[in-house]
Structure 1
Amino acid sequence: MQTPRSRKHQRPGADAVRIPSHQGHRQARRLSIAAKGSAEPGNRAPWHERRAIDARFPVRCWRGNIHGFPLHWHELVEACLVESGSLAVFVDGRRIVLSAGEMVLIGPQRIHGYEGLGETRATTMLQFSLDEVSLPAGHVSDDPSISSVYSGLRILRPSPGAPANRKSATDSNPAHRIVSCVRDISREFTDLQPGYRSAVRARLLDLTVILLRAEDDAELTHETHRGAADIRRHETLERVFSYVQEHAEEPISLDDAAAAASMSRSHFSRFFHRETGRTFQQYLARLRVSRAEQMLYQTDLTIQEIALRSGFGASSTFNRLFRRYTGRNPRSCRRG
């Protein structure tokens, strides 16, 4: 997909829309947004997370403090276990607050994001392909119960009756056993002992069996239904997120986002807040801070250059919002 910057230097084709100069470039952008809205979903999803993953071992696991992550989706199952502090999880328009020891399990193609609450929010994150929990590998469709058990959203709130880090063999509580599986997988990725991949696969299969046999457990909320209205809302958000990702370096107004959603400004404001739990301006600021944070760690660009490339018009605005969402000064990221 071409970036907006590269399109500016192209000669207009036969299907280009010419706008009289007195109407300004904003109307041209509105028409461009409307045209994108009619494209196929596969052609307008740059916010679809596509990180490189080893097809021979499609599993990732890591631990760390999470400040937040913008709304996105991918083809992997994702588990987020809160180790300390509190974390707000946004899934398909819902806002779920998790405390230490609680976890969400999010199925593929679900819109989700995170926002840290307070200063300490250590998490263990696990992502894996459905094919990794199917035998033989690559034939998950042969066992529909496996794909169904990982569909939708699961919220795990283990009761405090037993420690959540007990071994699954000695703990009959399904929620505790699931948390134990995730922590065991995390330890395997940390230690990288010989045979760690086989150990991880074994724990993923344990996790699958626990879920299959605990459908009615009160501590494992499972929500799977997605009706036609849910799909339409997903597609509308997809158009908005796609537009924002494409134009993140440029000024983006509420009117621009509303045009991407084919809604009026007021209708879009209510829709976006209802579906995501935050205003569009809050989402845009969070996304730009995340882009800036990544560039601070991965590039040698100056802070002023990063602020501009992240869509912030002024360094003072960038510094203020960066501290608000990460709790740190941008320069402290450069110092490590």
Structure 2
Amino acid sequence: MSGPNYERVRLNARFPAMLLLQNLTGQARTIPLHWHRSLELDLLTAGSLDVTVAGQTTTLTAPAVLVINTATLHAMTPNTARIQAITLLISYDFIKQALPDYDDLAFDLQGRVATAARLQTCLAQIGEWYRRRPNGYQLLIGEQIDHILYLLTTQAVVPRPIQPTTQCDYRIQATLTSLDTAYQFPVSMRRYADRYHLTLPYFSRLFHRETGQSFREYLLNLRVEMAQKQLSQTSMKIIDIALANGFGSAQRLIAAFEKLYGLSPTRYRRQERELRPNR
């Protein structure tokens, strides 16, 4: 359950993928409509979610595994107070190198119970290696990612369906793509409304209709989520993380983080380190 939004996949230099160990409460459990070029695999280990993929909604209850194909709009709404999951986002470019015809393919686990079970085991093992970090764990994870792609391409590959035209409005898609690279800087809704020759009230309504959030809420949540990843993966100071993600001060980041995650950035970082004693 990659955080919202368009292609914000930060790749670890050692892996052709991004790995997220998620333990979410409060508003952070809700993942609004988004897409990315990377292939997403989610192992839900605790909780229940309503998952909307390409306009179709199903309920996912732990333990369960989910595959979300490249450039497919999806959103997730929690049914329980806490959601725990392992999310793996595999680089589009990496897959494209291995599968030159990847743009014409998709992966589908429907009816493939044995394959889903094997993927669940693979993702759980990756999560365990990343938590414990034994010697050579980078090599083990890389090998497991290759195995996951082998399973998908030999046991779950299907022709890529034509995306329905009723998905996300192209202007909002373009706006979200732009925000993904501009969120660190001062941005305004008027800038995007003017770009598409729309009135500000109309663009505001369109944005809310397509994403389920106001422009301001979306941008704030995007900045908080990117800050959360730096809290988890780096030793940067809170003020530096705040400034790197578009907040004018550490206090603004703290207030926004507490509203979304229900705890302070410092406490969140402490809990993350406690979960990874060998880090």
Q: TM-score, normalised by structure 1?
A: 0.57
Partner residue in 1 for 2:11: 52
Match among 283, 286, 290 for residue 218 of structure 2:
283
Q: Judging changes above 3 Å, is the alpha-carbon distance between structure 1 residues 59 and 147 closer, same or farther for their aligned structure 2 residues?
A: farther
- Write the deviation string for residues 46-102 of structure 1: whole angstroms up to 9, x where unpaired: 9633533679x7456554324456766443321123221234656567776643234
> CA contact under 8 A between 2:34 and 2:75: conserved in structure 1?
yes
Which residue type is aligned with residue 85 of structure 1? G
Match among 23, 35, 43 for residue 65 of structure 1:
23
Structure 2: how far apart are the matches of 1:318 and 1:195?
A: 36
Structure 1: how far apart are the matches of 2:243 and 2:252?
A: 11
Q: Judging changes above 3 Å, is the alpha-carbon distance between structure 1 residues 132 and 290 closer, same or farther for their aligned structure 2 residues?
A: closer
RMSD between aligned alpha carbons? 4.4
Partner residue in 2 for 1:242: 178
Structure 2: how far apart are the matches of 1:94 and 1:286?
A: 24
Structure 2: how far apart are the matches of 1:329 and 1:196?
A: 31
> CA contact under 8 A between 1:130 and 1:140: conserved in structure 2?
no
Deviation at 1:288, TM superposition (A): 1.9
Structure 2: how far apart are the matches of 1:288 and 1:140?
A: 34
- Write the deviation string for residues 263-293 of structure 1: whole angstroms up to 9, x where unpaired: 2223222322232232222212211211332
Structure 1: how far apart are the matches of 2:183 and 2:91?
A: 31
Which residue type is aligned with residue 120 of structure 2? R
Partner residue in 2 for 1:104: 66
Structure 2: how far apart are the matches of 1:308 and 1:129?
A: 27
Secondary structure of the 1:274 match is helix
Structure 1: how far apart are the matches of 2:163 and 2:199?
A: 25
> CA contact under 8 A between 1:80 and 1:125: conserved in structure 2?
yes
Q: TM-score, normalised by structure 2?
A: 0.66
Partner residue in 1 for 2:134: none
Secondary structure of the 1:281 match is helix
Partner residue in 2 for 1:86: 48
Larger radius of gyration, structure 1 or 2?
1
Structure 2: how far apart are the matches of 1:300 and 1:130?
A: 29
Q: Judging changes above 3 Å, is the alpha-carbon distance between structure 1 residues 270 and 325 closer, same or farther for their aligned structure 2 residues?
A: same
Secondary structure of the 2:66 match is strand
Structure 1: how far apart are the matches of 2:123 and 2:220?
A: 31
The structure with the greater share of residues assigned to strand is 2
Deviation at 1:241, TM superposition (A): 4.0
Unaligned runs of 5+ in 2: 130-136, 274-279
Structure 2: how far apart are the matches of 1:59 and 1:247?
A: 22
Using the aligned pairs only, state the percent identity: 24
Partner residue in 1 for 2:150: 205
Structure 1 segment 163-182 matched on structure 2, within 5 A:
174=112, 176-182=113-119
